[in-house]
Structure formats: C-alpha cells, structure tokens
Structure 1
Amino acid sequence: HDLIPNLVSAVKGEMKFEQDTLEKVISARARAINASQSGNTKEVFENENIITQGLSKILALTENYPNLKSNEQVQKLMEELSHTENTLSFARQFYNDIATKFNISQQVFPSNLIASALGFTQSQLFELPQEAKERETPKVDLTI
C-alpha cells in the first residue's frame, strides 16, 4: 500500500484522462487499510481486488504515455509494483492453502465437534474476480 501514493503522484500529471482509475485505486487503498484495522476480511479482499485491477490497468496504460515510459522514477515504481504484485500473488496462494487446510480440518471428526462447540467458522478464501482472471496480457512490440 505504501507504493500506491508514490505511483499516483508520479503519473497523475501525465495521465489526466485516467483520473477515474487513479481515484479508484486511492479510495480502495484507504478502504483496505481501514478494513484491515477493523478485522473485516471480506472487505479487505474486495478492496485488494480493486487495487490489483487498478494497478494492472495503470501499468498497462503507461504504455500509452511515452513521457511516463522514459521517466526514471515511474520505471522504478513500476518495477517495485511488479515485484510487489508477484509477492502478493504468492501470499494469496499461501493464505488460500492454509485456509483450505483449516476448513478441511473443521470437517473431520473429532475436530468438527470442537470447532462447532467453540464457534469456529469456515475461513474465506481470497479469490480474484473473474474479470481479473481473464485479464489479457499486454502485447509488447519490440521492433525498432
């Protein structure tokens, strides 16, 4: 989340026509932080998905802005965001693996009796919306 304000301020001047995308990312960031502090996992997941989609769109849109592509600060931020997105992907997979094991353990005797008595509920899995799964990879033309 800490990289988002830096990226937005770096691209804001050039991407005047993409203000809606930038505002959605900033707003989702604030909501995700608040939801995280209040422990609302579902809201955190929803806002993280919005952030992921928005940042992916920003990354793709920078191809349309030559001044951004040549800006060293923007390039560094893009590399950091790409690395962060990969790290988040691994973290989501790890979380889902642990949550799945936890959910399965609650269904097996005698754990199901204890989990039921203590009020444990199934863990929610972190799933990306369908449109994010179907996102087309940007095409890069390397011809000179």
Structure 2
Amino acid sequence: MIVVEFDAPGDAPTQVTGFELGHVSLRWEGGAHSSRQLGSRGLLMVYLAAADMLNGVATLVAGRDASYLFTGAASAWSFAVRRTRRHGLQLSTPAGRLLCHTSEADYAMAVWRGTEQLLAARTPIDGGPLTDLQTAIAAFPDAHRR
C-alpha cells in the first residue's frame, strides 16, 4: 500500500493563492521518498503538484503513456512512474534507483486521497492553480475516487 501526502502550507496567509510552497511525500511499507529530503531545495508548489499527479494518473489509466516523470514546480525533487508488463507500476528516482512497486489502482487511490486531504486542509482562492486542480479532478477516473 502506498500513501501520498501533500503538506498544506502551514503558516500560509488567510487567502491561499495556490502558489504556496510545501512538500510531497510518498510512503510505502519499508520506505519513503519525500521532497523534505532536499530541505528548501525540495519545496514545491503543492497545489500544482497535486494537479500534475492527478493528470499523470489519468494519462496512465487511459493507457496513452506507459510512464511519466513527476517534477515539482519550483523544486529539485522528482520521481518516475513506469508501467510494468502486468499493469503494475514501478516508482523510481530519475537516476533509476527503484523506490517501490505498486498497483495502478493503489497509486491512483493514494494520489486521490492525498489531494482530498490537501483540499480539506486548505483550498486556494480562485485563480490558475485552483483552475488547474479542478480540471485535473474533473478528468480523474471515477473508478479510483475512493
């Protein structure tokens, strides 16, 4: 089981614009990969990261691509997702170090749950990041919204 956590900006102003910086963490049994490992170089725009990850899942599920590289906006942190022959996923660093194997369904649901938790903590005001996130949510496969 994999878990995706988006850290909502802690000391953000009352009105969250969606460009605030935070961290993203991937956790699974026996390991983790987090933008926190890079300190301030790992800070990324969490609302845009959530939209990018939702879009990545939608692309994988639709079968258009067998892989994608997630790179957080304004960050040095990233990871690669590649479909395996049995429709599982292999997550790795861009340099190719294996992080974990997971099913497409588990990864999709983890991204969905992480996004829900992010939005429950703080929702950005109308603008580009919120529009991008709403578009990604609308395109996200219904089967993985659990």
Same fold (TM over 0.5): no
Q: TM-score range by the shorter chain?
A: 0.3 to 0.5
Give the strand-richer structure, 1 or 2. 2
Query: Which has the higher Rg, Structure 1 or Structure 2?
Result: 1
Greater relative contact order (Cα < 8 A, sep 6+): 2
TM-score scaled by structure 2? 0.37
Give the structure with the higher percent helix: 1
